[in-house]
Amino acid sequence: MSNIKLYRHPLSGHSHRVELLLSILELKTEIIDVDVLGGEHKEPEFVAKNTFAQIPVLEDGELTLSDSNAILVFLANKYDATRTWMPSNPVDASAVQRFLSVAAGPVAYGPAAARLVNVFGASLDHEKAKQRSEDILSTLNDHLWEREWLATNNPTIADIANYAYIAHAIEGDVSLEPYPHVIAWLRRVEELPRFVPMQKTAVGLAA
């Protein structure tokens, strides 16, 4: 087994998705917190690991990887013997990729952005982020009306990638109450064996 290290911030949903898959796959990992608020991710030592100066970063032996979705694909392909978290057949694999794009697009610019304003004081248009949140949550709620998981009939890294920022949408003043199918999906993710939660904050509607 390789020596795996995860450089993360405990309030980062991008970090959490990697940490969650590592736990589900039962991969022993050294967790290293990066002081993002203090600018540690912009220091030369960290930039040498990721030239984009972003968390998370995963080290697996001599291999260094960045970008949370890319890390999910790597871990699932390397360590999931069942081939369910990242399916090998083209149809299911493309369905997973579709929702990795959702995580990097509408969810990132919606719930994640709204939360960034409240939790990290980001200079973003909060109202626009909340509207985008409502748009994507409504779409996902319809999508999940007659299905349990986002991409296939089983949980995949698509579910892992989208979970954290939607589960913590309330921290960006985005209520999940109008979206019962999304809430049910979140609960299914939380019931997965070896699920680990992301740290909550005291901001937003939850305060």
Q: For residue 2, name the pLDDT band (cuts at 50, 70, 90).
A: low
Task: Answer whether residue 84 is part of any domain.
Answer: no
Beta carbons of 63 and 44 less than 8 angstroms apart: no
pLDDT of residue 77: 97
The structural domain count of the chain equals 2
Which carries the bigger pLDDT value, residue 1 or residue 186? 186
Same domain flag for 105 and 130:
yes
User: What's the rounded Cα separation, in Å, for the pair 94 and 83?
Assistant: 14
Same domain flag for 164 and 65:
no
pLDDT of residue 206: 40
pLDDT of residue 78: 97
The pLDDT of 88-112, averaged and rounded, is: 98
pLDDT at 86 over 70: yes
pLDDT at 34 over 50: yes
- Taking only the tens place, the pLDDT of each residue in 55-78 is 999 999 999 999 999 999 999 999
The DSSP bridge pattern shows strands 4-8 and 63-66 to be unpaired
Same domain flag for 105 and 192:
yes
DSSP β-bridge partners for residue 63: 60
pLDDT of residue 44: 84
Same domain flag for 171 and 148:
yes
Same domain flag for 73 and 35:
yes
Task: Answer whether residue 145 is part of any domain.
Answer: yes
Distances (CA, A) of 110 to 46, 94, 103, 184, 193: 28, 23, 10, 20, 28
Which carries the bigger pLDDT value, residue 202 or residue 47? 47
Task: Answer whether residue 203 is part of any domain.
Answer: no
Task: Answer whether residue 10 is part of any domain.
Answer: yes
Same domain flag for 70 and 18:
yes
- Taking only the tens place, the pLDDT of each residue in 101-143 is 999 999 999 999 999 999 999 999 999 999 999 999 999 999 9
In terms of C-beta density within 10 A (0-12 exposed, 13-18 middle, 19 or more buried), how is residue 188 classed?
Answer: middle
Q: Which of 79, 110, 140 is the last residue of a domain?
A: 79
User: What's the rounded Cα separation, in Å, for the pair 10 and 24?
Assistant: 18
CATH code at position 39: 3.40.30.10
Q: Sheet of 4-8: strands edge to edge?
A: 29-33, 4-8, 57-60, 63-66
Parent domain of 19: 4-79
Task: Answer whether residue 202 is part of any domain.
Answer: no
What pTM value is reported for the model?
Answer: 0.94
Task: Answer whether residue 61 is part of any domain.
Answer: yes
pLDDT of residue 204: 61
Q: Which of 79, 107, 142 is the last residue of a domain?
A: 79
Q: Which of 41, 57, 79 is the last residue of a domain?
A: 79
Beta carbons of 66 and 72 less than 8 angstroms apart: no
Beta carbons of 183 and 14 less than 8 angstroms apart: no
Same domain flag for 41 and 107:
no
User: What's the rounded Cα separation, in Å, for the pair 64 and 56?
Assistant: 11
- Taking only the tens place, the pLDDT of each residue in 156-207 is 999 999 999 999 999 999 999 999 999 999 999 999 999 999 998 877 654 3
Task: Answer whether residue 146 is part of any domain.
Answer: yes
Q: What residue type is assigned to position 91 of the chain?
A: V
- Closest by CA to 161, choosing from 30, 24, 3, is 24
